Amino acid sequence: MQRIGVFICWCGSNIGGVVDVPAVAREAAKFHGVVYSAEYKYMCSEPGQEMIVSAIKEHRLTGVVVASCSPTLHEITFRKNIARAGLNPYMLEMANIREQCSWVHQHEPEKATKKAIELVRRAVAKAGKLEPLFESAIPVTKRALIIGGGIAGIQAALDIADAGNEVVIVEREPTIGGKMVLLDKTFPTLDCSACISTPKMVSAAQHPNIKIYTYAEVEEVKGYIGNFSVVVKQKARSVNSNCTGCGACWAKCPTKNIPNEFDLGMSMRKAIYVPFPQAVPNRPVIDRERCRQFVKGKCGVCKKFCPTDAIDYEQGDEFITENVGAILAATGYDLIDWTKIYGEYGYGKYPDVVTGLHFERMVNASGPTGGKILRPSDGEQPKTVVFIKCVGSRDEAKAKEYCSRACCMYTAKHAHQVLEKIPGSQVVIFYIDVRCAGKAYEEFYLKTLHEGAIYTRGRVSKIYPEGNHLIVKGADTLLGRPVEVVADLVVLATAMIPSAGSADVARTVGFTVDKDGFFQEAHPKLRPVETNTGGVFLAGVCQGPKDIPDTVAQASAAAAKIIGLLSHSEIAGEPTIACVNEAMCSGCLACRGICPYRAIEPKEIVERLPGKQVTRVVASVNSGLCQGCGACTVACRPGALNLKGFTNEQLLSEVDALCQ
């Protein structure tokens, strides 16, 4: 027989101003199993908590009901509180009579009091069925996996490795560096992007605690927080570790004129190549779809000229298993393919309509034009450059509803660079709003404005060629009239979208994405770098559009979380997870298909029946993976699955209490 104590909180006037708290306490005292009932002004305060501790001791309470605010706010407070008095912390049930009662029924105090009594009766009924639960200890592997070697992945890797943990980076491309190394100067300080990011790439490569796989992908993830087992697919590079990066192979390679992805197709590369001179590792790959040796079966030039015998045409994909305790997803972004969406800008038909990233490569001293801003069509220097913002962003009808956040600033930077590099040039920027929230951002925008960039508020409805020029037709909504600009070059600030294949990463690792495909954080404000899957974290644009400062800040935040996790040799596992009553389980495994965390596996058990032994299959819950969502308990036809702390018996007793 349980001996239950009920503690009703006034929460100052929050509850007490509406609900007749003493009346609730008097009623609660009459409920079955209740041996003590009390009320207090602030139950969460020190004297309030003391009151509970002494009542537990004095009245030998076996279960406690606290009627106050939402359990999300103070359940953990009161669990710790009753544990101090020697009770199992899970012998607590809360009744939310604030958010779900006094706050929403302010104008009906009598009905609110009645409802509060019913909510307490429900909690008491459940408290009568509570059972002690115990946290499990999960050992932690002190290593982290980072998926994506862009600036977010590199920053987090360095932070985690500096704290003394091993880090494994898996990068899809032949080099780490991501999008940041493509950029020229970065706003608002105009420091050279490559100059500040390539040293970080080198630091990561040289760090004794960091292991980097490039040209590799995560193939499979098994396990749970603290204990992940990850299979990495190392794609065949066709170049082995003898390589010194001397460059003889790509200098001699006869297959030329392959559009270089690193320059967005504005320059050419060979079939054996490093994407750019500062690539990390400085080791080429063979593009097997273009290489003559692979396409035609004969060539072998690179092998012949390689002084270290590093070329290996026979090399196959390799699969390596890495054990880690935490995973960070930092898979970055792509730009939306505007050529499939924006017919009014020519569907990509006009060579002089380019994206901001093309402009970055062009204006970059190590880019295809050596830093000169030139029209792709004829290589001439443009005099009038039009920038169009929000192409694909903030355009619900055609593409994405969200703001891509970085475009206002990089467009201001581009405008500044045009005005700086091309004397007598004219810049027109079409915008919806100018959003420059960030340290020194507004100042930068104003500087560009004062340099002469013409900001025109309105959208562009059409671009068409006329002679050597492009006619840009738009609206100036401040003047309320149509505008036409005769432009030489048009630069589109296209929307950021999750990088290709990021949905596969989410599926492989096992976490959710939002409606736009960005990785879903556990809480937008309070848990911004965690996913809903224990031990899996997020950083950078894969979580939502952001610029470099925000990406780096988020990467370090995620690193801090991971370092925190890896600082424990073991962690406590939540006890409120599903458990199987094997005697009742029929082995249908309907639960397995419904489990979003892949926590249910079949298990063979041996049963002794009179005169014989029977082997049969039952469901088994992996306590590390189970997040306690309860989906399986609903799917279970024989009723063999129960969620600890929310068992069928407990829930039904609550329903009974409410229906009295």
Which range binds another protein by CB under 8 A, 39-47, 127-135, 293-301, 464-472? Answer: 464-472
Q: Kindly state the smallest distance separating residue 400's Cβ from another protein, in Å.
A: 18
Among 294, 313, 464, 646, binds another protein (CB under 8 A): 464
Among 228, 273, 342, 597, binds another protein (CB under 8 A): 342
According to DSSP, the residues that pair with 233 across neighbouring strands are 217, 319
Q: Kindly state the smallest distance separating residue 152's Cβ from another protein, in Å.
A: 36
Contacts of residue 542, Cβ cutoff 8 Å, sequence gap at least 6: 148, 152, 329, 330, 331, 332, 333, 498, 499, 502, 518, 519
Which range binds another protein by CB under 8 A, 299-307, 342-350, 428-436, 619-627? Answer: 342-350
Based on CB atoms, which residue is closest to another protein, 482 or 524? Answer: 482
- Do residues 472 and 490 lie in contact, with contact meaning Cβ atoms separated by under 8 Å? yes
Give yes or no for residue 347 binding another protein (CB under 8 A). Answer: yes
Based on CB atoms, which residue is closest to another protein, 438 or 465? Answer: 465
Using CA atoms, how far residue 436 sits from 257, 272, 411, 419, 451, in Å, is 40, 42, 11, 20, 17
Q: Kindly state the smallest distance separating residue 343's Cβ from another protein, in Å.
A: 2
Task: Determine the Cα–Cα distance for residues 369 and 324; give it in Å rounded to an integer.
Answer: 44
Residues 349-388, one symbol each (x = binds another protein by CB under 8 A, - = not), give x---------------------------------------
Task: Determine the Cα–Cα distance for residues 398 and 349; give it in Å rounded to an integer.
Answer: 19
Based on CB atoms, which residue is closest to another protein, 465 or 596? Answer: 465
Which range binds another protein by CB under 8 A, 429-437, 458-466, 502-510, 617-625? Answer: 458-466
- Do residues 486 and 504 lie in contact, with contact meaning Cβ atoms separated by under 8 Å? no
- Do residues 68 and 44 lie in contact, with contact meaning Cβ atoms separated by under 8 Å? yes
Helices (H), 299-406: 301-305, 356-363
Give yes or no for residue 465 binding another protein (CB under 8 A). Answer: yes
Task: Determine the Cα–Cα distance for residues 177 and 248; give it in Å rounded to an integer.
Answer: 24
HSE-up of residue 413 (Cα within 13 Å, Cβ side): 26
DSSP 584-604: T--S--HHHHH-TT--EEEEE
Q: Kindly state the smallest distance separating residue 345's Cβ from another protein, in Å.
A: 9
Give yes or no for residue 12 binding another protein (CB under 8 A). Answer: no
* Beta carbons within 10 angstroms of residue 465's beta carbon: 15
Based on CB atoms, which residue is closest to another protein, 308 or 377? Answer: 377
Give yes or no for residue 337 binding another protein (CB under 8 A). Answer: no
Based on CB atoms, which residue is closest to another protein, 342 or 537? Answer: 342
Q: Kindly state the smallest distance separating residue 473's Cβ from another protein, in Å.
A: 9
Q: Kindly state the smallest distance separating residue 478's Cβ from another protein, in Å.
A: 23
Number of residues in contact with another protein under rule CB under 8 A: 10
CB contact burial 638-649 (16+ within 10 A = b; e otherwise): eebbbbbbebee
Contacts of residue 207, Cβ cutoff 8 Å, sequence gap at least 6: 157, 158, 161, 162, 167
Based on CB atoms, which residue is closest to another protein, 462 or 616? Answer: 462
Using CA atoms, how far residue 469 sits from 266, 344, 346, 418, in Å, is 21, 16, 14, 17
Q: Kindly state the smallest distance separating residue 391's Cβ from another protein, in Å.
A: 14
Among 30, 59, 80, 462, binds another protein (CB under 8 A): 462
Based on CB atoms, which residue is closest to another protein, 33 or 465? Answer: 465
Residues recorded for the chain: 660
Q: Kindly state the smallest distance separating residue 15's Cβ from another protein, in Å.
A: 46
Which range binds another protein by CB under 8 A, 228-236, 359-367, 461-469, 547-555? Answer: 461-469
Task: Determine the Cα–Cα distance for residues 82 and 90; give it in Å rounded to an integer.
Answer: 9
Cross-sheet strand order for the sheet of 92-96:
34-40, 4-9, 63-68, 92-96
- Do residues 345 and 386 lie in contact, with contact meaning Cβ atoms separated by under 8 Å? no
Give yes or no for residue 289 binding another protein (CB under 8 A). Answer: no
Q: Kindly state the smallest distance separating residue 340's Cβ from another protein, in Å.
A: 11
Alpha-carbon dihedral sign for residues 499, 502, 503, 506: negative
Paired tokens of 279: 């690539």
Q: Kindly state the smallest distance separating residue 359's Cβ from another protein, in Å.
A: 23
Q: Kindly state the smallest distance separating residue 233's Cβ from another protein, in Å.
A: 40
Considering only residues 417 through 436, tell me which ones interact with another protein, judged by CB under 8 A: none
CB contact burial 3-27 (16+ within 10 A = b; e otherwise): ebbbbbbbbeebbbebbbbeebbeb
Give yes or no for residue 338 binding another protein (CB under 8 A). Answer: no
Based on CB atoms, which residue is closest to another protein, 319 or 347? Answer: 347
Among 162, 337, 344, 442, binds another protein (CB under 8 A): 344
Which range binds another protein by CB under 8 A, 110-118, 276-284, 336-344, 533-541? Answer: 336-344
Give yes or no for residue 396 binding another protein (CB under 8 A). Answer: no
- Residues in contact with another protein by CB under 8 A are 342-344, 347, 349, 462, 464-467
